[in-house]
Structures are given as C-alpha cells and as structure tokens.
Structure 1
Amino acid sequence: MGRITPDEQVPAPARPGFVTLEQFVEQLRPELRLLHDGGSGQELLRWVEPSELEDPTPYLPEGEFLLTCGLPFLGDGGSEAGVDAYVRRLVDAGVPALGFGIQPYFDAVPEVLVSACRRRNLTLFEVPSTLPFAAIGLEFSQLLESENARAFRQLADTNRQLMRAVLSPRPEHELLGALVQKVPVWALLVGTDGRIRARGNTPEIDPALLAPLVERLFSGSGPRVEMDGFDQPGSALVYGHPLRSTKDANLGALILGCDAPLTAAQNSVVQAAIGLLELLVRQRTSGSLAPSQLATAVLLHPDSLTNGDTRHLNVLKDLLAQSLSSTRSAPMRVVQGIRVDPADGLPGDGPIRELLQWRRLFDTKLVEITDYGFTAITRLRVDSSLLADVERMGWRLVVGEGTELSGLAAAYQRVSSLRARVQSSGRSVRAEDVTWSVAGLLGREAGTALAERLLHPVLSLKPHRRDPLLAVLNGWLHENGSWDGAAKRLQLHRNSVRRQIGVLAELLGMDLGSAQVRAELLIALQYLDEVNPAPATD
C-alpha cells in the first residue's frame, strides 16, 4: 500500500480536553430539544460559546457548540438569505451544533433557521428559557473535567502496565503481550536480520507476505509508517513502525495488523509501546559501551590489573569511571546486599527489574545479581539516607571501604567475609567500622551464640559456683595455660587452679589441652556480657 508520514497518520494521538457532542447532550436536562440531527454526535467539542454577533466565526475555533438567543436574526438578518448565510458560515467554521435559546427575542425557533440547518445539515437544538446558557457552560466544564480525569487515569494505568512489561525478564515479549491486551491488533517485533524476535496474538501469516513491508522499513529513514494489507483475518490493515537509534539507524521494526483503523486512544498506546521498544533496543545495541569494553578487557587479559603497563591501566580506569558515572580518580567501594527475608521481595520481581533498581540506587552499571542478593561497585559513599532507603525495602548491606582499581578484588573479599555476620545479625555493617580480628568479624550475635553453646554447662550453675569457675577459666586462658601464671594472676594456689580447670573440663566435656578448644573458649568469653545465664541448677 505504501508509506505515510507522521502528519498523514490517521488517527492522531488522543488528546485530553475534548468530549463528544453526544456525550455532552446526554448530560444536559431533558428540556433540550433536538430539532435537526446533522450527524455530528461523535464530533469532538472544544467548548460551549454564547454569541449574539452576526458573524461570530472569526472568534470560533473548530469544535465550538454555539449558543444564541436569535439577536442576529432580528431585522434584515432574519431573512431567508441572511439566515442561510449565517448557518453556512457556521458549517464552514467547523461548528458541530447550534443551540437556539427561547426568550427574550423569540418565543420559538424561527422556521427559516430550522430549514437552513436542515439544508446545510447543521445540528440544531432548542434551548428553553428554563435552561440558562451559563448552566450549559457549567455543565460542559464539569463534564470536560471528569473526562480529562478518566482519560488520564486510563493513560496512567496503561503506562504502568507497559512499564511493568519493560522491567520483566522477557521485556519484548511482555511488552507486546501488554500492547495486544490494550489494542485489538496482532504484533510482531522484527530484528534487523529480518527474524521475528517476539510475537503478540499473531495469526498464521506467511513471512513472504511481510517481506516487502520489512524491506521498505529497513531501507527508509526518518519518522515514518509503512502500510500494507492482506486478505487474511485480522490483516486488512498492516502497519510497520521502524525502531530507530538516536542517529536514525534502523534497529528493528514493530509490525501491527488489524481489520479496522485504530482509534485515537489506541494509537496513543501504540506510540507509547514504540517508544519503549526503541528504548530497549537502543540500550541493547547502542547504550553505554564502557561496561562491555571493560568486561572484555578483563576477561581476555585478567593479569592486566596487576601486570599491565600504565597506559593499559589508565584505559581500564577510564572505562571503570564511565561505568560508575565518576572520574578516574574517584574512589569506589564494593557493596553487597542481602535480603533479610526472601518473602519480602515484591511479587513478580524479575532479575532485570531488580538489576535496574540497584543500578539506579547506586548510580552504577556494575551490578551482579547473586544467590544471596546482589553485589555492586559504586562511587557513592552510601550515606545513612541511602542505607535507610534500602533497609526499608527489606535489605541489609555490607558497605566496603573506598579503594582503587587494583584493590577491588581484595575489597570484595573483605566485604564477602562480613556477609555471614549480616545474615546472622540482620543488621547492615560498614567495613570501616569493623575490628579486623576473629571476634570483630564474628560479630555480637554470632559471638553470643558461640558463648551460649560452648559455656552452657557452666552458665547453668548457680552464681556462687558459676562465677569463680568462669574467672579461673578466663585467667588461665589469658596466661596461655600456665598454672603458675594463672595462680599469680588469680591470687590462688596453683593446685586450686589445676583442680578447678579439671572441673571445667569435665563440665564442658572438652579437652582443654587442645589449642583450638582454648582459642574458641577465649573468644566465647569475650561475649559473656551479652549472654543471659540459663536457669541455675544444683
């Protein structure tokens, strides 16, 4: 069938701010009497305008419902020729209807006006004196406001559905699925190689039928729509929309088929879908190239981070900076996110939506989705405000210290070593606040659990037996198992120390001669202040 330009596309995108004549008349009082139906019920009204000018058309934009009490028809203006000229001017100006008000000039609509409206096919209403023009204007403004609200609600609902599709694991397929739900069409997404990438409600169509349309789409340039039609159900009208890069390169095409022209609202949905599809293909084919270049360089030359020359390292630093929206010299940090409860995730969240969420929050393109949550490299300091936002979403973070390119791997290892602490405690942690010792890495919650498990037999004793035994154990361990050193430290006889250590070994069921056992007990003793002693036993 051929090509049409954007100005020739029919219908145009829907615009808020209009209601039809039929919708408006339905809202008015029953006294409004139709004298002639000119078939304009589905025409859009811009406004309701009272005027008593002999020629109001210079002041009337197209789509005005004109109201008059008949002043222009007094005197010579009421002749057949005068009334006919008046009606003709209204029709030429695109006035869809005329309302004639009874009183104060006429007791009935002049027959000459009724005849002229029939001759010129202008819709004519009789407006009784009980219905002021001001009331008609007020009714129209209220209807217009409600129609605008309804149109915007529908548009918002549609846009939300399309956006959810874009953020799904299979965005092109889901987007076409959402499109065919809102618009009575079938849809095909075609790649630059001519192959079909996604379908929506598509009937069996011979690909050879589409070949000329696809060829025209990929051989043209600029905004355009290619049209065709086939003698098959749902394919009387076939529209081809190119998906273009920012520099007008053809990245693919959306092909739609239907049996009847689309309405303005439906065409608006199509245009929104085209914009989102273009965004997807642009992101895939011509988005930021830095992350892919960086990944390629590191994958092919893994030793370059430590052994590369200055020039090569500077190239990597530049690519890293572009991926982090920062400068080459800006420090970066590794952040790991752990979901406190997997059930807290939003239903239907897919990896792409999750990935885009973390990229947005941490202003980085370097994000990895993992089995525990995610890891990101960011230039942000992750202040308390950002941390609070993430925690409200049901996540906890391990925030690494600032580092340079060469220190990223080590920073990742340090952050990973803190992940178990966050998982057990349910609290976020900053690497810079951690004491880098066994006790520091273990954390309060895990250390308390260790103390309760290892020392439970002693903690279950009554205080007068428990406390002296714990004091002897603590002193003996701090003296590295030296009997004389512990006796001096505790101001006890060395035989008393030996005897009480023997009691402890029997109670705990442990070999206190083992260095590993003594180390575990020494760590556990550091957390006794956090332990609630078990009920005392004899």
Structure 2
Amino acid sequence: MRENTDTASRPLTVADALALPVLAAGQPQVVTGVAHLDRPVRWVHMTELTDPASFLKGGELVLTTGMPLPEEPAGVRRYVDELADVGAAALVIELVRRYHRPPQALVDACRARGLPLVTLAADVNFLEVTQVVHALLLGNQADAMRRTQRIHEAFTALTLRGAGPEDVVRAAAEMSGRTVVLENLVHQALICEPSGSTVEEALTGWEQRSRAVPSGDRTEVCGPEGWLVAPVEYQGERWGRATMLPAPARTGPSDFGPEDVTVLERTAMALTIARLIHATPWERTAHRNALRDLAEQRHRSPEDAHARFAALGMPTEGDGFLAVLVDTRAEDDGAEPESRLSQELRTAGITALVGALAPGRFGILLALRASQPWRPAVERLSRTALAVDPGAVVSVGSEVAELSDAARSFREAGRVAEAALPGRPLPDGRSFHELSDIGLRPLLYALREDVRVQEYAERQLGRLVDHDTRHGTDLLTTLRHYLDAAGNKTTAARRGNLSRETVYQRLRTIERLLDCDLESGEQRTELHVALAALDVLRMR
C-alpha cells in the first residue's frame, strides 16, 4: 500500500521543487543548506517586501528577485533571521536584475541559520513556478486524503471481522512499510512484524532500548532511535503500546509522515478493540505463537529466534533447554490447563514459556539452570497436569544446549507421547514419560497406524488367528507362552496349564500353519515382534 518511490506518498521537498522543469530551467545552484534540502515545501511565496516573514506561516519556498534586500549587512541578517524564525523552507533568489552573484552578507546569514539559499542564473517565471508547485501540492493533498481514507477503511474492515492482534500488527506493517511491534507494560515484545529488516535487527536488546523511550499519552516520535509510539489503552487503563520503527537507514522525526501517524493511531485503536473482544491475553497468544514457530522451525534464522524469545523475557543463553508436552482431553481453548501450568512454573521459580501447540496439546520450553535439576521441575509440572486432567500424558524430550536445537527436543517429546502405552505403569516416583520408556511395544504402538506394521503382523500371524477363529482353538496363546519362555517348552506348558505332550502337539500345528521353524531364534524373534504388534493394534 505504501508508495516509496512516488513523491505523492511523501511531502514535496525543496529538492523535489528544484528538480521541476519550471525551476530547473533557471539553472538553480544550492549555495547554503545542502543538508536541509529534504525540508517539506508547504507553499510557494513570491515577495519583493523587506519584511516578508509577516505573511508566512512556515514551510514556504520564498522566491525573490533580490530587489528588496537591504544594503547593509545588519539588515540582510535581520531579513534572513525573520525567514528562519518563521520556518521558511528555502530562499530562492534570481541573479538577473539586481545581482549577478549572491551578496556575501546573504550567504553568511543563510549559512549561519541553516537556511537553504538557492540562486537562479536564468530568468524564471515566478508565477508559473507558483502554479506548478501549488497544483502539485494540492494534488498531493488529495492523494493523501484518499490514502488516509483507505487506511481508515482497512482498519474498520479488520475490526468488523474481529481480527486478532497479530492480524492488526501485520496490516499496520504492510500499510506503512515499517516494522511494527506490540509490547506490554513490562517492555516485552509480544508481536513483531518486520518490514525491511529481520526480527533479529528489530528485537535485539528490545527491553533496554524500549525503556529508553518515554511513554506519553499521544502518538509521537521519541527516544534515542526516533521510534513512533502510540499507547494502547481503554478508559484510562493502559495495556501496552504500539511501536513503529524507523527505516533501518534513517532515524529521527523526519523519517515519519502524517500517514505513518494515522496508521499507528488506527493500529492502537484496533488493538484496543481486539483486546476487548478476544478473551485470550496477549502474553498467552505471544507464547503460543513463539513456541509453535520454534517447534516447527519457522524462524528465518537462529538469530531471529534468539531475539524473539529474549524480547519475551526468556533467557537464550544458559545451561540449556528442555521441551515438555502435555496432552489432555481439554475440549475448550485450554485456558485452564495453560494457566495452571504457567502458575505452577512461576510458583516454583522455573523460567519457562507455556503455550497451546494444538487442541489438547500444550508445549512447555524450560530454560535449564545447573543449580536447578529438571526432573523435580517436570515431576511437579506433571502432577499439576494430572490434577487438572487425570488422563493427561506428560512427555519429555532430551536436553539441548542451544535454543535453535529446541525443535529436536520437541520432536523427541512428540515421539515419546506417541509411544506412551495407555495404562502402562511408570517407574515409582515418576509420572511423566521420557525417551528411555520407548521399548519394543511403545515403539510399535507409536507406529500402529503405519500400514507396513499392520501388514507385517497379518503376514506373520494372520493364518494362526484365522485358524483359532474357525476352530475355536487358542494356539495364539500357546505361541505367546512359548515365545515369552524363550523357547522353553516346559515353562510354556506350566504357564498354560497344559501337559508337555499337548504343547508339543500344538507347536507342531503352529509350525505347519505358519510354515516356520520354532527352533530358529531368528524366526522366534520375528513372531515375537509380530505378536507385540498385534497386541498394540488391538488396543483401544
């Protein structure tokens, strides 16, 4: 939406005016104030008065033939001082009638006040200059009004469709072409939509930088970096502020225009409405999004991830990180389990982020410290989850040293969760699942929906199951006892309350049906795996 290359999208400057053909024909030369040619031109004023400042309001491009200039240097200085004091954009003097070179007193006075002084070596029709520039200015004003109207319409549409804070901040960044950040009252960057920069560039050292920017009651440019900030509040209660960052190559008040102010003011208003209609706190949404992006490796770079988590108040340097997943049967948005888990971690003094990764699944990223072992912390977390939902499953990945490796810890925790056998007891004193719990049966349970596992179990044991079904026999149980006894027929007979002769007979029948040799250790292993797969496939 922002037109960065068209002068219609920004104020007309002195440099723009001098480049117009009507003025370029006069062979303009900038004598002083080259650094101030980016001053906006609000109007053009032709004058032959000795005191033109009384007719000016600021921002005018003053055109003169030089005829009214005083002779004495003091009068020239007074003339220039009055123009500078009122805020004239520049003084353009024609060197055709009275002067053929600018008076030194005029040059010195303009240089002292930082007023751009431009000379014209050729005759220029000042009236034509006025007509051209004023037409351009009026056209720009009309364009600006249309763009402002589009801004209002866009934010109104966002509000009417119930847009959340992420949608609002994203729209603001797209409209302005700037990086826009929403922060809370403790200077944590909750949402960052970068434009023309990376998350790392925008958020590195965020809290310290943000605290250097005073919070006012209106939209204004302030702070050492020249941020444009707007409070987000409702009926006197402030929730945070929306911040628009200057373009990376430039800083300062002149970097922002009226449209930027309009965008940020409407952003703050839309964020207020979003806060009122969406019950989920901003912090919770920010934590959810950050964890999802981390677990799914959606960050553009490790540096972006570090900057984003640091801006949320999460340590990114330390003794390591650990991913924990909590799967519950929560049918709503999971607000209660999420709040309870977060509160438990805060009470225990454990630094972590908690967020819903999917319906019924919560992700927790723990920042580990050498002085605080993670097992007691996860056990405490697990017991809290079980108190909320007795059927909850808590799974843990492995410790990782770098934040960028946390995605691996989340993947491992996910595999542990998939392999958690229902009803399988855990070791005494532990209520959560970890990687060491994944044995043969948990592994097959995790793979139970894989067609290859199903085909394998059916190929190995299907004929035996069919025989039992048709003839009412229980050869599968005999095979189970035999395999569990590691091929010891006596033990198998005792476990099945059968005579050894009956076991021998049944085993021969099994060998015939399955076309196998039960004396082969390899084939017994294959059948044992198939039997374990069949067991997990029959679980409900």
Check whether TM > 0.5.
Answer: no
Bigger CA radius of gyration: 1
- TM-score, with length taken from structure 2: 0.39
- TM-score, with length taken from structure 1: 0.39
